[in-house]
Amino acid sequence: MYFAAEHLMSKLQISEAQLRDLEARGIVLGITKGGRTFYSSRDLYRLKGILFFMRTRGFSVEQAREYVDEPGVLVSAVQNRSAVDGM
């Protein structure tokens, strides 16, 4: 399923400038048809996760993307750091 950019921005409560910034960073890539840009449901849910971690945990875009795309990598790094700090 695909959503128009306007729907994605409304659903995620982001501005057009924020969406364009995310595209420029390679976080999300839309498909243009007939002069309109569309995003997949995967894009919607992935961005929802990234924005969640940015808003609630103070993650940078890159940290949030890494956590959403490869959650085990970040969790392992945090656990390893905690183990070292505890020594």
**Model-level pTM?**
0.76
What does the pLDDT look like over 20-71, one tens digit per residue?
999 999 999 999 999 999 999 999 999 999 999 999 999 999 999 999 998 7
Q: Residue 14: what residue type?
A: I
Domains of the chain: residue spans and CATH:
2-85 (1.10.1660.10)
Tokens of 62: 């890159």
Torsions phi, psi of 59, nearest 5? -70, 150
